[in-house]
Amino acid sequence: MFADRAKIFVKSGRGGDGHVSFRREKYVPNGGPDGGDGGNGGSVVFVVDDGLNTLTDFRHIRKYCAENGEEGGKKNCHGKNGKDIIIKVPAGTVIKEAVSGKVITDMSGDNTRFTLLTGGRGGNGNQHYATSTMQAPKYAQPGQPSKELELLLELKVIADVGLVGFPNVGKSTFLSRVTNAKPKIANYHFTTLNPNLGVVDLDGDGFVIADIPGLIEGASEGIGLGHEFLRHIERTKMLIHIVDAASTEGRDPIEDIYVINRELENYQADIAGRPQIIAANKIDCIFDGEDPVEKIRAEFEPKGIPVYAISAVTGDGVKELLYAVKNRLADIKEKPVIFEQEYDPEAVLRQRDEPHTVTYDAEKDEYVVEGPRIEKMLGYTNLESEKGFAFFQRFLRENGILEELKELGIKEGDTVRLYGLSFDYYPE
């Protein structure tokens, strides 16, 4: 079974804690600190694998965790970094945050490798906190925590041209004739359970064409497998609308075209508005009587939609249709659709896991900064040392706290309070 959606859980590695230790050597009774730094945690990395064309593997494995960093050791030994978790996906996979459905990244075009969650940074060992006044620091920095997220993966096929139409109108037969694709062909509804891709080669120039599974009325509302398949035409530049001109199953080809176009309009108006060419198929099954192809032409060519009579079985009219598609594609200057980022997991998780508040206390005329990460930082930072205070200032700057204080109107000499500690503010 073709799989074009999957929900998975990913988790980066935790940073290793910094180590607290002191040199213990012969004739050196009071050696200085030598605690090593913790290793960095592994990251969650997505990579495009050209050998994949489905998301089937994610049905069996749903949890992906990177390695944690190791704790630092004695004698300035650095903890081992955790290994990244490499997750391979087919080209065209859109990665979304599962709850909101917002796009994190689109693994298409030049985006073949994407670090989704970085591992936690390893903590500093106690050797970093030694100063002239604090020669034996008994604290080290803990490693940063891991990050985790639930993701929705969606495969959206990348093709220049999409084939649309009712089941059994001859799309798979057409694709097998004009490309190197080998779709399974049989006479029943939803013959094609996955989009088949093929390359059309015309005098050394060509384009990618996708046989989108047969749509039915109500597909845009999710009836049948509508939503599962409609997403695959979101990237196409134009559509070939194949109809059974001979009405071999008793349906009216003109009404079929209107029905499918309504489904496209209901699903996404932008898709319905893309250039379209009608391929009136099965002309080898048209015998005596009025020519149905002329009826189709009379209905749609005044609307700017060209109609080509073809037989996917015999090949009649196919070459003319393909050159018409090639010429139309040459006039379309738009680049393939790449879905823009709507959700930055690093920024969101940082705000969610390490919240802080910056407020103004009018009664005491002080600016108050609070939050669990602030409190944790104060616990392992020696503010009496020059190095520790520099780290403290950098922490406030990198976490946007100084910027928030400025937005509240802080001025030089104003007081900032953090969990009982008060400081005078001076711009950097």
pLDDT (tens digit, 9 = 90+) per residue, 149-200? 999 998 877 778 888 888 888 888 888 888 765 544 433 333 344 567 777 8
Q: What is the C-alpha separation between 137 and 379, in angstroms, rounded?
A: 13
Based on its alpha-carbon atoms, the radius of gyration of the chain, rounded to whole angstroms, reads 31
CB 414 within 8 A of CB 424: yes
Q: What is the pLDDT of residue 119?
A: 93
Say which amino acid occupies 2: F
Q: What is the C-alpha separation between 129 and 126, in angstroms, rounded?
A: 5
- Residue 354 CB-density burial (10 A; 0-12 exposed, 13-18 middle, 19+ buried): middle
How does 280-310 read in b/e, with b if 16+ C-beta sit within 10 Å? Answer: bbbbeebeeeeebbebbbebbeeeebbbbbb
Q: What is the pLDDT of residue 330?
A: 86
Query: Can you tell me whether residue 210 is helix, strand or coil?
Result: strand
Q: What is the C-alpha separation between 92 and 367, in angstroms, rounded?
A: 49
Q: Taking the model in full, what pTM does it have? A: 0.63
pLDDT (tens digit, 9 = 90+) per residue, 174-188? 888 887 655 444 333
% of the chain beyond a pLDDT of 70: 84
State which residues of the chain have pLDDT below 50: 1-2, 183-193, 217, 219-220, 222-227
CB 179 within 8 A of CB 173: no
Q: What is the C-alpha separation between 228 and 193, in angstroms, rounded?
A: 10
Torsion of CA 161, 165, 167, 169, to 10 degrees: -90
- Residue 157 CB-density burial (10 A; 0-12 exposed, 13-18 middle, 19+ buried): buried
Q: What is the pLDDT of residue 22?
A: 86
Q: What is the pLDDT of residue 351?
A: 60
User: Hunting for tokens 């309009």 — which residue is that?
Assistant: 265
CB 100 within 8 A of CB 49: no
Alpha carbons within 13 A on the beta-carbon side of 343? 22
> How is residue 221 written in tokens?
């509302």
CB 229 within 8 A of CB 215: yes
Q: What is the pLDDT of residue 184?
A: 46
Say which amino acid occupies 217: E
Query: Can you tell me whether residue 311 is helix, strand or coil?
Result: coil
How does 210-220 read in b/e, with b if 16+ C-beta sit within 10 Å? Answer: bbbbbbbeebb
